[in-house]
Structure 1
């Protein structure tokens, strides 16, 4: 058994098996509706910050957007590149980079941080640094779409130990998630234990520990204001509309870049 770093080669290889049934198409449709609803101009270019293995980026490129996918895990980016069709006309590129320090030297009409990417910014200064990265990559009045764990819901319905089994291409992946909540630091450390069983009876066991932060709505609003954003919308996921309550674990936010260049 090995204990690799977070977002290791093994985790990247397992990622698309674990999330094979996630409704990526529906999520991208919601992104597009949101961009059309709140964009002051037609959205053409998107930065997908924390793109993982690139599924959202690829689907959005198929919808006609020019997409740049960035992730801090080189293993995730490698996986994303293997999923890109050989058709060079598809307007999507992938590269490695960190949300706290990224500087691509260009700006976009919209920036996405989907699937709780912002939750990995644990310290207050990390959150500010990530938001500053978003801001320097946004055009004036550009949109920032992101989602986070909702603090009131996390404290009401605390994370529980879970075991799930996934099967794909003759492989079976058994995943045990063991969470440990720290309500003082607003964090949850989750130990993921993966047992991958191969058709030839070989197996691989890996362990990763992910520490994520949860946020409260007024806290998010304050962070956005401090870094030059206007909060435009807040809604529960997966609905993407309606009022947020303490029963909603995942909340999406839409913010607008107030800076005029």
Structure 2
């Protein structure tokens, strides 16, 4: 996942209002616990600024977070330093690509949230991510991830969205303009981000494009099977039966 330095500075600002990281982490730990993973070592692929990782560590997991963005990781490490010592010592972060990173360690579970799987826009990319998970798991280890769910994306395609967020230092307006690419099951989201400095009132504009893939159960199950996993469960975001109205799907798979 590629984010500019400017965008990463406001990553948490955009999402803290709509995302309940503690509740999402509790959902994940509950799902892992249903299949016997209670505490232990966890690999967090695409950890971003470390907010989920910090919540996992607070529940007792030792967490290794991986992200492609050095700036995201700097913010994650600053977060780690600010936490109580007993939590901070269970966190570590490193730079890496979910498709290729190798830590030379085994974990009880591999977790990837915030639709990192949907940034793997080709079959080869997604299977490489699955192979990364398999490489870091013993037999019966769990791989949990979420993604954009294809039926819901097709039933209700993404629309132009405008979001405003503010802090003491800045006001940010983000315009998201999606472009469907139906032949490869992706959406190119073109972002215009306008940042106003609270002191100088100077405005800076950043343009970015994020390409995301929407996925379907049969293809996910096939690629997981080819990567050495069996799918245990597929549910909607935060749990419950997955339907064609659910934009986000969570999959839990066990390494054979």
**TM-score range relative to shorter protein:** over 0.9
Q: How many residues get paired? A: 251
For structure 1, which runs of at least 5 residues remain unmatched after alignment? Answer: none
Indicate the SS of the match to 2:206: strand
Alpha-carbon shift at residue 27 of structure 1 (Å) = 0.1
- Show the 5 A alignment for 1:89-108: 89=86, 90=88, 91-108=90-107
- From 31, 37, 49, the counterpart of 1:34: 31
1:213: which partner in 2? 213
The structure showing larger relative contact order (alpha-carbon pairs under 8 Å, at least 6 residues apart) is 1
Alpha-carbon shift at residue 185 of structure 1 (Å) = 0.4
- Show the 5 A alignment for 1:45-56: 45-56=41-52
CA RMSD in angstroms, aligned pairs only: 1.4
Q: Distance in 2 between matches of 1:94 and 1:30?
A: 22
Alpha-carbon shift at residue 84 of structure 1 (Å) = 1.3
For structure 2, which runs of at least 5 residues remain unmatched after alignment? Answer: none
Q: Distance in 1 between matches of 2:98 and 2:108?
A: 17
Q: Does 1:224 align with 2:224?
A: yes
- Deviation track 1:223-248 (CA, whole Å, cap 9, x = no partner) reads 111111010011111x312x211111
Pick closer, same or farther for the CA change 1:144–1:202 going to 2, 3 Å: same
- Show the 5 A alignment for 1:144-163: 144-163=143-162
Indicate the SS of the match to 2:76: helix
> Any runs of at least 4 consecutive aligned residues in structure 1 with deviations exceeding 3 A, and if so which?
86-89
- From 240, 245, 248, the counterpart of 1:247: 245
The 8 Å contact of residues 110 and 137 in structure 2, kept in 1 or not, is answered as: yes
Indicate the SS of the match to 2:7: helix
What TM-score, normalized by structure 1, do the two folds share? 0.93
2:53: which partner in 1? 57
Q: Distance in 1 between matches of 2:72 and 2:204?
A: 19
- Deviation track 1:135-163 (CA, whole Å, cap 9, x = no partner) reads 00112211111001011111110010000
